[in-house]
Amino acid sequence: MSLNSLFKSKEEKAQDSKEYLDKLFPFGLEQRDMLMEVTNILFPDHKKTNLFFNYIVAKQNYLDEKLTDDKREKNVTKFIKRIRPRLDQEKQEQILQVIIYDCQLESLIKPLDFIAKYNQ
């Protein structure tokens, strides 16, 4: 948190929050809910809120505009290994692929449709 953020008005903080959510979930809260359900289906043995929080932070790393595509993937893979060390290599790769597919969405779809298209 920067010192500058301490002096923001309530409206500025709300605007920053909206911009952050719009970047992560361009299709709104429906997209967030859909992705939460997708991660719950794909990773049923993990705590839902912890895993989804990790997913959001990994996606935020992936969306870092300063990185090339190769570096994005390496950055996210490294991040996932660090925060979810008990996930096997296949599951770590699966999270990365879900993030990539999520970032390529052109419209909001249902969770099971997401999984079906992601698995193709």
pLDDT tens, residue by residue, 7-30: 888 898 889 888 888 899 999 999
- Determine contact, residues 102/111, Cβ cutoff 8 Å: no
* Pairwise CA distance, residues 95 & 92, whole Å: 5
pLDDT confidence of residue 4: 64
pLDDT tens, residue by residue, 29-61: 999 999 999 999 988 888 888 889 989 999 998
Task: Tell me the pLDDT of the chain averaged across its residues.
Answer: 86
Tell me the C-alpha to C-alpha distance, in Å, between residue 52 and each of 3, 65, 70, 104, 120: 28, 22, 23, 19, 23
Long-range contacts of 49-56 (CB under 8 A, 24+ apart): 51/84, 54/80, 54/83, 54/84, 54/95, 55/95, 55/98, 55/99, 56/24
